[in-house]
Structure 1
Amino acid sequence: MSGTPESDAPQSAAPETRDPLGAFVPGGRFEVGPSGLGPLAGLTFAAKDIFDVAGTVTGCGNPDWARSHAPAAEHAAAVAALLQAGATLVGKTVSDELAYSLNGQNFHYGTPANSNAPGRIPGGSSSGSASAVAGGLCDAALGSDTGGSIRVPASYCGLYGLRPTHGRVDISGVMPLAPSFDTVGWFARDAETLGRVGAVLLGEDGPQPPFERLLLPEDAWALATPAARAALEPWRLRLEQRVGKAAPLVVGEPGGGLEAWMWRFRQIQGGEIRAVHGDWIDETRPHFGPEIAERFQWVWSLGEEEIASATAARADFSERLQGLLAPGTLLLLPTAPSIAPRLDADPEALRQHRGNVLSLTSIAGLSGLPQVNLPVATLDGCPLGLSLIGPAGSDGALLAFAERFVTLPG
């Protein structure tokens, strides 16, 4: 974690204290000025409330967590890096409880508004960060992505968002959920800003060949609704014109498909969550909202053998996918099966939708590969994202390619 000069402490007299979108945690609109001069001068950003900000309590979406933890002594490394690069922090945003959901509906603090799809969920768990950027309350925002918490809100809210190669961005000072999946990601309304932030947080890629090979996972596309596939089809064709005809393949587990990999992801994730947070939950007995309480009950039901089996299978999946995504190769897939569900969606329908979402997001999650969401399509007036997964360590090249691709003439 990075040291924090006293002058970097949050200033309560922020020039803008309103929060019309419910994107910020209670009392979370404050300002921390830049600690250096750099390429992000003039840029404003927010941080999901699992990132430490010196002098404030990191609440992690749950009042009992906030009550049982002291204010942070230092900024999280990613926060400190952006401040050092000249950006200004404008507050801390709502997270799903302990970052363990993809919906963005916090039982205690409410649901941040989705400005680009009114009446629909923003996606989570980086819900407030996505809401704040989509609603113009800041230029960029930090979030985390364990099971899809950057990629899914980016698709639902019409934003650019990156889940980097696992381990590429310093995650110190960020609440862990499932460490072998946890990554620091971020949102922006345009690809150029996403890339500017990336240049600070990612550092330099190693040598990267141009992207000249495209893979089309047919089982991933089959999870999208017919209407979503139709809306994304022109962009698939446009990408093929840019890179070359896509080679079809199947990435799911033989006999079980992507759903089997989704369950393996959930089992490994659940085991890690139990190891990280079990003692705190046993000691504190926190009050969770119904959805999150049910999820933690499931975590405690997992057997060690099924976790071990899923972990062993993951190694084979990662090796195979990383072998497929050789340097210069891109995997093209829908970010989510469709647009954001409605706020009043039936809970069972939401559960089924979440399973399909996780079947898509577990591809990059299990393999640790970088994935960028491109907000290129709409359906029924709502955003719909297209994703590119690149080889490990190609994050900078992936962002540069995405920016060039979306700005090419139609």
Structure 2
Amino acid sequence: MTIWIKRFAPPPAPGLRIAVKDAIDMAGEITTAGSAAVRDRALPAAADALCLAGVRASGAHIVGKTTLTEMCVSPVGDNAVFGTPVNPLAPDLIPGGSSSGSAVAVATGQADIGLGTDTGGSVRIPAACCGIVGLKTTAGRVPSSGVWPLAPTLDTVGPLARDVAGVITGMGLLEPGFTVADAPARVVGRLRIDGVDPAIEDAVDAALASTGIPVREVRLPGWDAAFDAFGTIVVHELWTAHHALLGVEGVGDFVEGGLRAGRLVTQAEVASSLAGRAKWQAEVAALLSEVDVLALPTLPAMPPPLAGYAGFPLTQLTALFNLAGVPALAMPVRSPGFPVPVSLQLVGPAYGEELLGATALALSSRGRSPH
């Protein structure tokens, strides 16, 4: 069972089927966080995570808790203990993580909506790898109480679905009453980052051109410098939250390495990184005051093989929007000849999910078949 860590009884009547990443507490269930060490020490959750309140109130049926990479740390989607979900579009390629099980459950039709978490791309990356839609929400918009922390100031909860309309429905479960904006973006800022496959860029450009929305080339000069701040904050907050797991039997090598890196971070480095984050947030906010949304690919190339992903920069185009705290939506676009459809990433201002939804709907209506 590589998609599911635990499956529940099928719904008694037709309705929305929800897959919940096993980093999100459900009352009476153990939250494994994809880790044998966590599972073996955990007690059943006393209450649901707050983000599930809308799901429960809606009458939607939670069909299971899904596999993830250990403790949400890796963006690959693999898990040596609970199994690695198979990418349904290209079984030899990674499924993407850390919300791998939720993405594959949706992509294979075993759930209508998946709930995942995204700290550096963990909703958007598996959405891109599996040819579906995923939304990283604004930092703090969806409550994180009861959600396993990786880096609490970067962690977000967001929905995955097979299409944009499904993600909008999922956002309505996380925030009852959510609706999209009346109109899409008036101006899109086209962001280009060095090292992206030109064929990926071409597919993104073609998708944007199909909408007729004006597109303007933009830059974020602080991009490279912001990565240092992101990396330091992630491992520092991982260490702060989970230092008691260092050296514990059952913790995998990748997480162990992250904990050891976090232990070495100095207070001076933390202070420098927080200052770098503030500068980066101001830079992104300033650009998003000039254009309505930003557009760029979600991944710099096709997803790598599961047998050889080392060195692939999976979070290159996603992580810095967690650092900025802004929402970002990943969606497939028409890209004939690719094993997996190219994924376009739309980035909006803080609390701009409504605008992202309207803009993504405009894009999807121009090209209904992404393959």
Aligned pairs (5 A) from 1:220-235: 220=193, 222-235=194-207
Unaligned runs of 5+ in 1: 1-18
The verdict on how the C-alpha distance between 1:137 and 1:247 changes in structure 2, with shifts beyond 3 A counting, is same
CA distance in 1, matches of 2:11, 2:129: 30
1:351 shift after superposition = 4.1
Aligned residue number for residue 361 of structure 2: 403
Select which of 329, 334, 346 maps to 2:297: 334
Read off the aligned partner of 2:282 and give its amino acid letter: E
Q: Structure 1 23/204 Cα, relative in aligned 2: closer, same or farther at 3 Å?
A: closer
1:151-181 residue CA offsets vs partner (Å, 9 max, x unmatched): 1111111011100111111222111111111
Match 2:109 to one of 136, 146, 154: 136
Report the Cα offset of residue 238 of structure 1.
2.1
Structure 1 position 400, deviation (Å): 2.5
Alignment of 1:9-408 (within 5 A): 19=1, 22-25=2-5, 28-31=6-9, 42-202=15-175, 203-204=177-178, 211-218=185-192, 220=193, 222-239=194-211, 241=212, 243-244=213-214, 246-253=215-222, 258-278=223-243, 280-282=244-246, 285-326=248-289, 329-345=292-308, 350-354=309-313, 357-378=314-335, 380-408=338-366
Structure 1 counterpart of 2:216, one-letter code: A
Q: In the superposition, relative to structure 1, how do residues 31 and 217 fare at CA in structure 2: closer, same or farther (>3 Å)?
A: same
- Please give the root-mean-square deviation of Cα atoms over the aligned residues, in Å: 2.3
Once the two structures are superposed, what CA deviation does each residue of 1:326-349 show, in whole Å capped at 9, x if it has no partner? 28601011001112111111xxxx
Q: Is the 8 Å Cα contact of residues 206 and 393 (structure 1) preserved in structure 2?
A: no
| Contact 2:127–2:134 (8 Å) recurs in 1 | yes
What TM-score results when the alignment is normalised by the length of structure 2?
Answer: 0.92
Q: Which runs of 5+ in 2 are unaligned?
A: none
TM norm structure 1: 0.83
Q: Percent identity?
A: 34
- Secondary structure in structure 1 of the residue aligned to 2:147: coil
Contact 1:195/1:400 (CA < 8 Å) preserved in 2? no
Letter in structure 1 aligned against 2:228 = W
Task: State how many pairs are aligned.
Answer: 366
SS of residue paired to 1:359: coil
Cα separation, 1, equivalents of 2:220 and 2:290: 18
Cα offset, 1:206, TM superposition: 11
SS in 2 for 1:388: strand
